[in-house]
Amino acid sequence: MRLGAFPLCILTAGCVSASDVQPIGYGLYIVTGSASGGLNAGKETIEATKEANAYCAKQSKQMVLKNLDKTGNAAVFGENVSLTFTCE
């Protein structure tokens, strides 16, 4: 979990985080997000998207989403998302 997400975990009785961006070849990258706690439903996608946008912005490019795979339920066992993207 990133250090920046720590205060969010304390305040919402759940947790929202995103992984670091990882290259997967052919100009594609992947980032994952996770959320737990009913009030955090859907926020894993926002966190992962922010991470992807920031990564591409460092290259003066824009993030182009190629695939989004979402599983789980934040209120029960947690929600996870994997974003596959390019920087163009």
Instruction: Identify residue 32 by its one-letter amino acid code.
Output: T
Domain span at 67: 3-87
Determine contact, residues 34/43, Cβ cutoff 8 Å.
no
pTM assigned to the model: 0.82
Please give the C-alpha separations between residue 81 and each of 58, 59, 60, 66, in angstroms, as whole numbers.
23, 24, 25, 13
What the block records as the tokens of 5 is: 């997400």
- pLDDT per residue as tens digits for the range 18-69: 999 999 999 999 999 999 998 999 999 999 999 999 999 999 999 999 999 9
* Number of domains within the chain: 1
